[in-house]
Amino acid sequence: MTIFIIQLLNSFFYAAVLFLIAAGLSLIYGVMRIVNLAHGTLYALGAYVSAWVVGGAVGHAASGTLGLAGLLLLLPVGAVAIAVVGAVIEPTLLRPLYRRPEEYHLLVTFGLLMILEDTMKFLFGGTPLTAGSIMDHMGSIPIGRLLYPTYNLFVIAIGLIAALGLWWFIYRTKFGVILRATSQDRRMAAALGINVSRVYVQAFAIGCFMAGLGGAVVVPAQAAVLGMGIEALILAFVVVVIGGLGSLEGAVAGALIVGLVRTAGIQFFPEIELAVLYLIATAVLLTRPTGLFGRA
């Protein structure tokens, strides 16, 4: 029973991180119809920046005065940094392409992926970075006869808050209305006086912020390593394909499904764990091309 609960918590932890990445990917697609192949790499970059900032603070003499709360406040720096990167990328690289076929979107974001991968290698070197001290500081809580890291519960909470916050943001604020209007009909939105270019920059920056946040929350639990983004992108793809590209509910459902299957897979069928995920995505695409929650 205890094992079962821990497995369930593990899958929720995993789902929370995946949700953050996939929601950003989905948001960007929903508003701008861009499938951002560099999204996973932005997540990795967020992880690196957060680990670098937190690690730097811990190594510094002032770390005693910072305490756990201070370190936790430093963690989102990665997310903010990625949002800034996104705000630079959208107008320079993506804006010239909106009128071209979507092949070009894939190509340019693939090029961006290559550039960002090496930028990370250049900035942070080949050695993995970690912010494990946060996880150590938070300790663990007893579940049954076993101990479970408190930090994982914290991440699950962040995932929940992010999902609710995003929902509130999209469906309950004025900016959300503008965002949805732009995604429905770009030209009509422009005709109604919405500054579409600015909305696009904002939407892309928010999507990048989500990716960076995913990287930031994951880095105390596991180190930031080169290549982590390429793997994460494909899993985020699986999530949005299952849930439906451009759908928030879909990202939640997809992340939960992938989280549960992956955790069960690692436990019971490690060899075909990844293959099963891809096959689920394929099966969903075949039966419901727009995903479980997608609209055509």
Partner 1 sequence: MSLAVAKKAAITSTGSSAWRPAVVAIAILLVLAMLPSLVDPYQTVLLTYGLIMAIAALGFNLLLGYTGLLSFGHSAYFGAGAYTVAFIVRDLGAQSMELCIVGGLLGTLLISALFGFVCVRHTRIFFSILTLALSQVLWSLAFKFFWVTGGTDGIRVASAKLTLLGGLVNFAGPGSFQRFVFAYYYYVLGLFALATVIMWVVVHSPFGKALQAIRDKETRANFVGISVRRYRWIAFVISGSFTGLAGVLWVPLNGLTTPDILYWPFSGEIVFMSVLGGFRTFTGPIVGAVVFNYLKTYAVASTEYWQLLLGVVLVVLVLALPSGIVGTAARLAARFTRGTS
Which residue in 236, 215, 14 sits closest to 130, CA to CA? Answer: 215
User: Which part of the chain contacts partner 1 (CB under 8 A), choosing from 6-14, 58-66, 80-88, 285-293?
Assistant: 285-293
8 Å CB contact between 141 and 150: yes
Q: Of the candidates 1, 59, 69, 103, which one interacts with partner 1 according to CB under 8 A?
A: 103
Q: Which is nearer to partner 1, 163 or 201 (CB)?
A: 201
Q: How far is the CB of 98 from partner 1 (least distance, A)?
A: 13
Give the C-alpha separation, 85 to 210, whole Å. Answer: 12
Give the C-alpha separation, 29 to 256, whole Å. Answer: 20
Binding mask 22-61 for partner 1 (x = CB under 8 A): -------------x-x------------------------
Confirm or reject binding of residue 226 to partner 1 (CB under 8 A). no
Confirm or reject binding of residue 274 to partner 1 (CB under 8 A). yes
Near partner 1 in 228-257, by CB under 8 A: 230, 234, 237-238, 241, 245
Confirm or reject binding of residue 122 to partner 1 (CB under 8 A). yes
Neighbours of 212 (CB within 10 A): 32
Near partner 1 in 57-96, by CB under 8 A: 93, 96
Give the C-alpha separation, 59 to 63, whole Å. Answer: 7
If DSSP codes are grouped into helix, strand and coil, which group holds residue 147?
Answer: strand
Q: Which sign, positive or negative, has the C-alpha torsion 201, 50, 210, 229?
A: positive
Q: Which residue has the tokens 């770390």?
A: 63
Give the C-alpha separation, 28 to 98, whole Å. Answer: 13
Confirm or reject binding of residue 275 to partner 1 (CB under 8 A). yes
SS3 helix, strand, coil % of the chain, rounded to 5? 80, 5, 20
Q: Which is nearer to partner 1, 66 or 234 (CB)?
A: 234
Q: How far is the CB of 8 from partner 1 (least distance, A)?
A: 24
User: Which part of the chain contacts partner 1 (CB under 8 A), choosing from 51-59, 79-87, 119-127, 142-150?
Assistant: 119-127
Number of residues that bind partner 1 (CB under 8 A): 43
Q: Of how many residues is the chain composed?
A: 296
Give the C-alpha separation, 132 to 113, whole Å. Answer: 27
Q: How far is the CB of 33 from partner 1 (least distance, A)?
A: 8
Confirm or reject binding of residue 281 to partner 1 (CB under 8 A). yes
Confirm or reject binding of residue 98 to partner 1 (CB under 8 A). no
Residue type, 231: E
Which residue in 155, 154, 150 sits closest to 140, CA to CA? Answer: 150
Q: How far is the CB of 231 from partner 1 (least distance, A)?
A: 10
The site for partner 1 (CB under 8 A) is made up of 35, 37, 93, 96-97, 100, 102-104, 106-108, 110-119, 121-122, 230, 234, 237-238, 241, 245, 270-275, 278-279, 281-282, 285-286, 289
